[in-house]
Chain A
Amino acid sequence: MAHSKHRHKHRRHLSNYILDKRLQLRYVAFVTILSALLSGVLGYLVWQQENSATQNIVNTLEASDYDADLKNEVVAELSGRDSNLVLVMLGAGIGMVLVLSLYLIVMTHKVAGPLYKVSKYFDEMAEGKLSEVWPLRKGDQLKDFYDKFKDMHDTLRARHVEEVAALGSFVEACEAAGIGGPGEFGHKLDEVKSYRAKRREQVA
């Protein structure tokens, strides 16, 4: 590949999955609260039902003439089951939060990734630089937006390259005609040359 030497091979790393904390964590916080609330309500209801069943069995046991040790053993077993249910429900809630949060982080990363990349190009543009824009990574979102940006950037870059070329043509034509030299215009041409060199560097 002709560009392979220059092309930045960005890979997704766990460490840079949170590129835009405010944007990404806001989604995650919302879903976490919603899921926790939902799991909590459902968990409480199921626990209530289970507890009611346990209470009925305990009542029956107490009315019976079984051995006291056996009664205690059964009650302990039932209490353990109730506690297990709470733990399972807690696990289900945490699992739900984790799955949704992971999805949101991955999805928002796929949005934040292109935005981060475009922001880097914006920083260059702020300094007047118009370097070449590389395509997005596979799986990134906002392709349409990125295409618009690339189109605009490429147009600006081509325009600047043309302008640098036009300045170059003028300087070369003047030099070929022997115009310039030590006079005022010659000094101006020197200024233009350095300006052109700077601009050429900006679109390199």
Chain B
Amino acid sequence: MGSPNNRGYKRSWRNLLLNTRYQLRFTLVMVGLSAVLMAVLGWWVMRAAEKATTVAMDAVLGVQCKAPERPGAEPTVVIDEPIVDPEADPDPDPDPEADADPDPDARPPVIVNIVEEKVPPPPVSVNAVARYHLCKIQQVSTIERLYRGEWRIFLVLVVSGLALCFGLAVYGIKMTHKVAGPLHKVGLYFAKMKANKYDTVYNLRKGDQLVDFYAHFKEAHEGMRKIETEDVEMLRDLIAAADAAKVGDSSPDAAKALDELREILKTKEDAIGP
């Protein structure tokens, strides 16, 4: 509970928009401006990120992973041991005329057994294979990391843009509410003053803005109330003196003016209360 000058008003989300025009205009323009700035910044950031990603990818793909050298499995000719047939005719030519003069230097025929077979290549170095695959894996993972980085930037951009707009909207409404609240309160007192009611002016709620402004208003209210009080005192004295001097009996104009002063006095007494 508040003190006599401090009524326990509590903030409620239902009355956050007290001065809709001022609050929404202020907040929406601020949010709109931030959204435009974020969009421009975001466009530039994404362009820079995309460029960086492309450059990095080109650099990664520009490196040729050294493939392990693996000789092909070529057919290999293997000559087996020659097989010499001792019983074979060294000159199998059936031409009898030729046999008439046999060559003394003629060698016995040799049967050559030619076997054609694929010989397995020499084993490739395990380290070379591992290096090759590691290089490829590194390339792929670097590219993936770059894409992930770009995607993360985009996500952060979208989330922070939304957070900025939402944060500014909430902050804008809340802050303008802290301004609109005192203004609303002062507006209610204005209506009372206009209706010639000078009630007690209560303090602002905790956290409200415009504390200095409100202090000025309180002084103004007090000043006007003081004038009303002085008027009441002056009119009471004047009417009492006029009644004592029987002014009403002396002149109808003075009597009429005195009645008017009595009405004014009554209004002023009602205005300041007991």
Contact = CB atoms under 8 A, between A and B. Distances in A.
Interface residues of A, number: 75
Contacts of B186: 145
B155 to A, nearest CB: 10
Contacts of A41: 156, 160
Question: Interface residues of B toward A: which range?
Answer: 35 or more
A179 B146 CA distance: 103
Nearest to A95: B37
A47 to B, nearest CB: 9
B17 interface: no
A90 interface: no
A67 interface: no
A111 B21 CA distance: 13
Interface in A3-27: 20, 22-23, 26-27
B203 interface: no
A46 B48 contact: yes
Nearest to B142: A56
A56 B234 CA distance: 93
Interface string B244-258: 110100110110111
B254 A125 contact: no
Given A92-B44, A152-B193, A126 B222 contact: yes
Contacts of A115: 210, 213
A134 interface: no
Given A34-B168, A142-B22, A151-B190, A23 B41 contact: no
Contact of B41 (A20, A39, A159, A174): A39
A148 interface: yes
B224 interface: yes
Contacts, number: 216
B213 A119 contact: yes
A176 interface: yes
Q: Say whether chain A's binding surface is mostly helix, strand, loop, or mixed.
A: helix
A53 B247 contact: no
Q: Say whether chain B's binding surface is mostly helix, strand, loop, or mixed.
A: helix
Interface of B: 19, 21-22, 25-26, 29-30, 33-34, 37-38, 41, 44-45, 48-49, 52-53, 55-56, 59-60, 62-63, 142, 145-146, 149-150, 152-153, 156-157, 160, 164, 167-168, 171, 175, 179, 183, 186-187, 190-191, 193-194, 196, 209-210, 212-213, 216-217, 219-224, 226-227, 231, 234, 237-238, 241-242, 244-245, 247, 250-251, 253-254, 256-258, 260-261, 264
B33 A100 contact: yes
A167 B49 CA distance: 81
B56 A57 contact: yes
Interface in A115-133: 115, 118-119, 121-128
Contact of A56 (B22, B59, B212): B59
A188 interface: yes
A166 interface: yes
A152 B190 contact: yes
A107 to B, nearest CB: 6
Contact of B149 (A49, A96, A103, A173): A49
A53 B217 contact: no
